[in-house]
Amino acid sequence: MARLTFAGRTIASAGFRFVRHNAANETVPSRTADETAVLDALAAAAARLGTSLRPGEAWVEVPLAK
Q: Residue range 49-62: average pLDDT?
A: 95
The CA-CA-CA angle for residues 43, 27, 35, to 5°, reads: 25
Non-local (6+) Cβ contacts of 39 within 8 A are: 18, 32, 53, 55, 60
Question: What pLDDT score was predicted for residue 29?
Answer: 96
pTM, to two decimals: 0.85
Total domains present in the chain: 1
Cα–Cα distance for residue pair 31/35, rounded to 1 Å: 7
Contacts for 29 with CB less than 8 Å, ≥ 6 apart: 1, 17, 18, 19, 58
pLDDT for the residue numbered 3: 97
Tell me the per-residue pLDDT of 3-44, one tens digit each, with 9 for 90 and over. 999 999 999 999 999 999 999 999 999 999 999 999 999 999
- Residue 66 in this model has a pLDDT that exceeds 80: no
Residue 65: what pLDDT? 78
Name the residue range of residue 36's domain: 2-62
